[in-house]
């Protein structure tokens, strides 16, 4: 037993060195890099609208809309789902991922028809997102108005 | 006063780091709980609405620009801000319509593009 111990430790060190990086760390690095990169691209468009003299609160609207269009287009080309396989929430959480969640099932269920295929499946993920966001936003706004009075946001 | 001044180098750095960090929080939620990706997206939109209710999301956008405005919590924030704006301007009708009014541009583009892409492109594989 006593002689075994160093070799066991050495073996453990070897395992530690040779083992692939834990998926959690790898996933986090991918999510940070891709999510950050997508937001930096968004900053290009936000900067464009700010330089045109829009106030920040207004400029975020067309900037987000351009990113939505871009996300949908890259999904159409088959690029976005490839990025998403590695980037996980780094691709899913930016608004481009919301566009992807609409476009991807819409394309996939094209064969089920334009109404119940495309028209319905389009909202597979967007539906829950919109329903929950709207419901919670109304409650939050109502509570805030009751607590602080009408604020105008 | 807006602290985001457009195309300065630091505005890209802040957008990258804050946007990346929000995505990391979502990734950790996905990997460390049993929630699916769709659940995490819903959760973060809801969190955005709640953070907005405490008045904290607007300053985050002022600091990080697209780093806060592009991740999905911004959708929850936009709904809350739009609802409050509508309520202040038009009372109860504004309270009901303000949220979707504020988010109409993004939603319309998303639905229109999603539909068009499904007509134009065929899925791979």
Question: A140 vs B71: CB contact, 8 Å cut-off?
Answer: no
B18 and B68 Cβ atoms separated by less than 8 Å: yes
Residues of B in contact with A50 (CB under 8 A): 2, 4-6
Assess if residue B125 is contained within a domain: no
Residues sharing a CB contact under 8 Å with residue B75, sequence separation 6 or more, in sequence order: A95, A98, A129, A133, B45, B48, B103, B106
Assess if residue B2 is contained within a domain: no
Distance CA(B121)–CA(A116), nearest Å, equals 18
Q: Are residues A44 and A105 in the same domain?
A: yes
Here the ipTM equals 0.94
Neighbours of A152 (CB within 10 A): 11
Average pLDDT over residues B9-16: 94
* Domain span at B77: 9-120
Q: Are residues A84 and A62 in the same domain?
A: yes
* Domain span at A140: 126-153
Residues of B in contact with A42 (CB under 8 A): 15, 19, 65-66, 69-70
Give per-residue pLDDT as tens, A90-140.
Answer: 999 999 999 999 999 999 999 999 999 999 999 999 999 999 999 999 999
Residue B1: the pLDDT is: 39
Assess if residue B1 is contained within a domain: no
Binned at pLDDT 50, 70 and 90, residue A6 comes out as: low
Q: Are residues A46 and A94 in the same domain?
A: yes
Assess if residue B82 is contained within a domain: yes
Number of structural domains in chain B? 1
Give per-residue pLDDT as tens, A123-137.
Answer: 999 999 999 999 999
Q: Are residues A38 and A74 in the same domain?
A: yes
Assess if residue B14 is contained within a domain: yes
Nearest CA distance, A16 vs chain B (angstrom): 22
């Amino acid at each position: 037993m006593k002689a075994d111990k160093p070799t066991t430790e050495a073996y453990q060190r070897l395992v530690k060195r040779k083992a692939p990086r834990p998926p959690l760390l790898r996933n986090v690095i991918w999510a940070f890099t891709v999510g950050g990169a997508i937001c930096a691209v968004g900053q290009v468009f936000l900067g464009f609208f700010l330089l045109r003299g829009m106030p920040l609160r207004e400029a975020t609207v067309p900037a987000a809309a351009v990113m939505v269009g871009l996300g949908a287009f890259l999904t159409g080309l088959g690029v976005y789902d490839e990025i998403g396989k590695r980037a996980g929430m780094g691709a899913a959480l930016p608004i481009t991922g919301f566009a992807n969640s609409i476009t991807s099932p819409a394309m996939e269920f094209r064969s089920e028809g334009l109404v119940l295929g495309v028209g319905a499946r389009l909202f597979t993920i967007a539906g829950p997102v919109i329903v929950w966001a709207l419901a919670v936003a109304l409650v939050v706004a109502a509570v805030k108005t009751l607590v602080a009075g009408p604020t105008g946001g | 006063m807006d602290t985001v001044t457009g195309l300065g180098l630091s505005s890209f750095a802040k957008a990258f780091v804050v946007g990346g960090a929000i995505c990391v929080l979502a990734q950790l939620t996905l990997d460390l709980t049993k929630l699916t990706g769709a659940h995490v997206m819903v959760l973060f939109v809801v969190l955005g609405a709640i953070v907005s209710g405490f008045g904290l999301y607007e300053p985050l956008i002022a600091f990080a620009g697209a780093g806060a405005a592009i991740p999905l919590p911004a959708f929850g924030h936009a709904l809350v801000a739009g609802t409050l704006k509508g309520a202040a301007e038009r009372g109860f009708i504004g309270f009901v319509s303000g949220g979707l009014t504020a988010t109409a541009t993004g939603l319309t583009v998303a639905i229109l593009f999603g539909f068009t892409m499904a007509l134009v492109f065929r899925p791979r594989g």
